[in-house]
Amino acid sequence: IGNIFGSVASFLNFSIYPLLSLALGVVGLCSLFLFPEPFSPAFILFGILNLFQTTVGSWLLWRSGNLMKIG
């Protein structure tokens, strides 16, 4: 399966990393909302890291899309 996605991504000159990073960030944020716990420093740190990962994934996806338009 990875080989199929890799060959499609290479054909489109697209890296799968931005989508993976964005998906992991969204899954992390959803897990924070689905499994509420009392606020703790670890909970806040995990939330900040997930927001950062979602932001970076979105930026990488946008940048990759722009590079595909240019190329």
Q: Where are the domains of the chain?
A: 16-70
The pLDDT score that the predictor gives to residue 1 is 45
Q: What is the dihedral of CA 47, 26, 24, 65, to 10 degrees?
A: -120
Identify the band that residue 29 occupies on the pLDDT scale cut at 50, 70 and 90. confident
The pLDDT > 70 percentage for the chain reads: 66
Give the pLDDT band of residue 60 (cuts 50, 70, 90): confident
Half-sphere exposure of 2 (CA within 13 A, CB side): 2
The CA-based angle 22-63-5, given to 5 degrees, is 55
Model-level pTM? 0.59
Question: Average pLDDT, stretch 45-69?
Answer: 78
